[in-house]
Structures are given as structure tokens and as C-alpha cells.
Amino acid sequence: MDIAHITTPNGIVLFSQLVGSVSGESQEVQEAGTSPGRTEKNRSPPCMFTSAHLDSLVKERIPRFTPYKHFLRGVHMCGSCSAPVPPADSNGSNRHHDGSPSPWSRRTFFGIGAGATAAVAGLAGTTPAYAAGTAAMNGDWCNPALGYFPTGGHYGAPRGNYGHEGQDVTNNIGTGVYAAAAGTVIRRSWGGGLAGRTGEALVISHGNNVYSFYGHLSAYHVGLDASVSAGQLIADMGATGNVTGPHLHFETHTGGLSSTGTSTDPVPFMNGRGVDLGGGWPRIDPESNGERVKSIQHLMNQRGADLEIDGYYGPVSVDVVQEFQSDQGLVVDGQVGPETWPEIVYGLDTGSSDGSHVRGLQEAMNKRSAGVLVDGNFGPVMDGAVRDYQSLNQLVVDGYAGPVTWQALVG
């Protein structure tokens, strides 16, 4: 099995595996970006892709694929990505997370009440984390990729005699992969410099001995030593390395970075920071900062508030949100989470009037590397940016920013 390493005219580095004869025997796999002769033994099922996939990647930076809800569930995950530690007890980590878009028009989602949303999220009536003094849901972290959790792709799942070191998020090749938090790219290589990992990978250092790992990538969008912001586009999802299909292998490490002993289950790690890994509304607590707070402030101003757009979710902004929650019969806790987000966003497209609600959408788009002007106008440029984002993330490409697109953007 050969690895092709190609740089497109616009500087995007692409990787694809050209599968020749496939058998159950050990295959010699040359590592991309290394000198000929450097090989890795691969005794697990190889990728099920042909040179046609490479052709499609070269012809178009962002290929158009069938929405990920049409993929066969439970087969697209890591074939290895393990380390010599005892398999962890899943205890619910092996959940099937279907973040796929609905086949219905996204406009129909506005008919879903807040109570139903809260019930699905399992958050109704619970005490927000900030009330307990954790202050972890401060807007610093966000969802790295949209997709679903394949069966057997959870943290600690058996990989031979060892345990799976991350959480797999399945979607199509070319789906956007984003920085889960701000930091510096310290690894950009085959396997990310960690034993047991295969495929093109990035590692980001977030400071304080916290790291995130992104594996099996098909294209890089950032360089080594680059400083990245939370939500910045850093790569495309792929199927490089020892896998059974396209997905993102996502790891979180605390207390250091090594092949063993430092990884932690990404699902509760991200959940504790207000992020539903794979897709879902985020939870933004008082004292948060960032573009999502700016989106909230713009959305509140559209409803008659007069907030300064400073990206700080302080007492003034919290008071406005709590008043809105009270008026809507929501839990009055000041947290903008799965119950509140669906009530504050607007369905927007080229027919929308200029206003702060469009500015809120533009702030959210820019968090995901759109680079649009925050002018409150949903014109042709904004329409194109929304469609590009929807295409990149396997959503219905219609230019309509409804609940599904909003959720993907701010998640």
C-alpha cells in the first residue's frame, strides 16, 4: 500500500492511500513525508480506498460527498491508535452519537420547544457547572468536527491487547477539522510522534500541559509552530493510516504528552468544558469570553438590548439573558446552553433584513475561519460563505442558516 503526498497549487497538503492488492498478510506502508525505505508494519485491515479518491482530492480541495448520515454506522474507525495500557472500562463511553442533519427542512426545527430540547440534552433542572465554582464552561473550547460516534470507536475500546486512546468521530473525507481550543501546533507528522498512532496527524499544545491530538487527516491547513485560535480550520478529515474508513481520531491529554498515561476520555473532558463532542449546542457560562459571546450579544441586541459588543459575558450581558430566559419560561440561570440557544438564534438567508442577528451569525462564521465582514448584511458574499461552510461540514447546502447550521457553528 503506497502513500501519496501531494501539494495542490494553493498550498494544501493532501494525503491518500493507493490500495493495491489487499490481503490479510503484513503490508509495508511508507510514511508520508519520510525518506523511501522507512516503513511501518501494518497487520490490521487496510483502508478501503482506491486511487479514485486521490483523483477527487486533487481535482477539488473540498470534495462534495453524500451527507454523513448515509454512511453505514459502526465501521469507520481506527484500526489501531492504541497504547500499551489496560483497556478502560467504557461505562457509557461507547454511546452512539448521531449528529447527522435531519432529512427535513431545517426551518421545521424552529417548531421544537425548549422543553423538548432540554429533555434531549438531559440538562433540564440540573445545576449549571459554574454554580459549583468550576468555571470550566468559559467559551475556551469548541467542537473539533461534526459527525457521529461509531460503535467501537470510544475511548478504551479494545485494540488487540491495548486500549483505544481517543474518541473517533466519523464523517466523510474532506469534512472540516477545527482546533478545539487556542494553542500552538507542536506536531505535524505521520502519527503525531506518538507510538501506536498512524496516519497524518496534528498535536496542539494549549498550555498548562494540556494537549489535543487530531489523527487520520487528509489535508493540513496550518503549519508546524503555527498559533491557532479555538474553532480555526486546521485540517480535513481523512482515512490515512490504519483505519476502516474516514473519521477524526481525537485525543485529549493532561499533565503531559506521551504515548501512554496522559490521555483522558475526550467525551467527558469536552463535556466538562461545555462542548458536546461530535455535535450539539454548547454551554456558555457567565464570565466567558470570545466570538460566541459576541454572537450572543448581537442576538440580544436584535431583541432590543443595547449591549456593548466586547465578547465578555459579564454581569450586564448575563442580566439581559436572564431576563430573556424568564420571559420565555426557561430556566433562569444565565447559562446559554441547549435550552437557550434554539430560542435566541434566527433563521437567516439572503432574504433577511440587515441587523444585529446577521452580525451574530457573521461572528460565529468567523470563529470557523470564514473571514467575512461583520456588517449585518446577508448579501451574496455571506450567502457564499454559509454555503461553503455547509459543504465543508456535510450539511444541506442551501445558504439557509437555521438551527442546524447555527448549532454546528457555535458548538
Distance CA 386, CA 78 (A): 31
User: CA geometry: angle at 308 spanning 306 and 311, to 5°?
Assistant: 130
Residue 21 amino acid letter: S
pLDDT at 80 over 70: no
Q: Residue 349, exposed/middle/buried by CB under 10 A (0-12, 13-18, 19+)?
A: middle
Residues 6+ apart with CB under 8 A from 327: none
Q: Model confidence at 55, in pLDDT bands (50, 70, 90)?
A: very low
pLDDT at 138 over 60: yes
pLDDT at 67 over 80: no
Q: What are the pLDDT digits (tens) for 347-394?
A: 999 999 999 999 999 999 999 999 999 999 999 999 999 999 999 999
Q: Model confidence at 336, in pLDDT bands (50, 70, 90)?
A: very high
Residue 179 amino acid letter: A
End-to-end CA distance of the chain: 37
pLDDT at 36 over 70: no
The single-letter DSSP state of residue 334 is S
- Taken in order of first residue, the domains within the chain and their CATH numbers are 106-135+281-410 (1.10.101.10)
Distances (CA, A) of 335 to 117, 138, 320, 341, 342: 15, 10, 12, 10, 13
Cβ-contact 311, 293 below 8 angstroms? yes
H/E element holding 382?
helix 380-392
pLDDT at 84 over 60: no
Q: Residue 287, exposed/middle/buried by CB under 10 A (0-12, 13-18, 19+)?
A: middle
Q: Quick count: other Cβ atoms within 10 Å of Cβ 265?
A: 21
Cβ-contact 372, 358 below 8 angstroms? no
pLDDT of residue 82: 54
H/E element holding 217?
strand 217-220
